[in-house]
Amino acid sequence: MKWFERDLNFDLWLLGAILILSLFGLIMVYSTSSILAQEYYQDPYFFLKKHLIWLGMGLSLMFLVMHLDHNHLRYFAFPLVVLAILLLAVVFVFPPIRGAHRWIHLGPIQFQPSEIAKLALVIYLAHSLAKRDENLKSFKKGFIPFLLIIGLVVGLVLIEPDFGGALSIALLALLMLYIAGVRLSYLIGAGLLSAPLLYFFLIHEDYRWQRIIAFLDPWQYAQSAGFQLIQSFFAFGSGGIFGVGLGMSHQKLFYLPDAHTDFIFSVIGEELGWIGVMVVIIIFGIFITRGLWVAILSPNKYSCYLAMGLTAMIGLPAVINMAVVTGLLPTKGLVLPFLSYGGSSLVINFVCCGILLNISAKRYQR
């Protein structure tokens, strides 16, 4: 079995969706960040140049990984998840940023171990679920071992603190367990048992509880916890069907916080209107649909679980982010994959896509 493979028949719909989202994201990062960059760094291209570096790194890794046989990742499944857990512990050595220990600093480079942990957990679960296929209905052998690993990863992310990140990792892991055939009663039981802990973390920090209250009635908290959501509503309302024009957003003029990260979808709605919003949703729909199709046609259960996990790893944050900025879910600090300005999350997403594309090239091999 070769490590490097040539002449592979990749899913072109999947590859096309990734490249279109990446290019569109580059345009929107500049559109949403140029004024902010000029104000704080006296360089309108500050965020664009940094995003280009991460984008170039991510695309290079994607084109490399898509030619590497994904089956070899099984050899590193357990070491990768152990490394990820160690990195999640190391973050507490570094000083907090905005009150949270989420980043590791190596000179000019900083990255979030939680993004690496997410990918490592998907690879580990895909390998272990396929390996333990006959024991998945067993509580002792088919559920508890996975619950311990997932609980450790989620717990470390939770105390960073990163409530939204921990919740997204938990949902991703439970989804993979359900797809693999773990009893639904076990998953529901685990959810009910963890509910008091999640409730504690929810009310422990006042801003989290305020986000829930503001989600229910943002206009009552228009100058506090509901400010972002209301500004997002204004952006979508101003955009109408055709938008106000690329680069012409008013909400990004320091009205909408995090316009180039968490709320970039709102600016898309304002500048490109309902049409721009629907184009983004359709492209993400193509990505998710093709990813699931690749999983269904995968040659073995490991490849199937891995493809499902990778698709959900990108698809879930995309759906959650779009739901948040349109007021369908409480505000969470999740970026929109490929479109938001980002570093480690962008690179890891491209690595995921590289693995998914390699699986797609084997979808007819049995």
192, part of any domain: yes
DSSP letters spanning 157-177: HHTTT-HHHHHHHHHHHHHHH
* pLDDT, tens digit (0-9, with 9 covering 90-100), for 100-138: 778 887 777 778 889 999 999 999 999 999 998 888 888
DSSP category for residue 232? H
Helix locations, the chain, DSSP H = 12-41, 46-65, 77-90, 113-131, 139-142, 144-158, 163-180, 184-204, 206-216, 227-239, 264-296, 301-325, 344-360
207 in a structural domain: yes
In a domain, 365, yes or no: no
262-307 pLDDT, tens digit each: 899 999 999 999 999 999 999 999 999 999 999 999 989 999 999 9
Residue at 107 is within a domain: yes
Please name the amino acid found at residue 59. Answer: L
Report the alpha-carbon distance of residue 141 to residue 15 in Å, rounded: 38
C-alpha of 221 from chain center: 28
Instruction: Answer whether residue 366 is part of any domain.
Output: no
Q: Say if 213 falls within a structural domain.
A: yes
The answer to whether residue 4 sits within a structural domain is: no
| For the chain, percent of residues with pLDDT exceeding 70 | 96
Residue 194 CA to residue 205 CA, distance in Å, equals: 18
pLDDT at 1: 54
**Single pTM value for the model:** 0.92
> Number of structural domains, the chain?
1
How do residues 310-343 score in pLDDT, each as one tens digit?
A: 999 999 999 999 999 998 888 777 899 999 997 8
Could you list the residue range(s) of the whole structural domain that residue 177 is in? 12-360
End-to-end CA, the chain:
15
Residue 7 maps to a domain: no
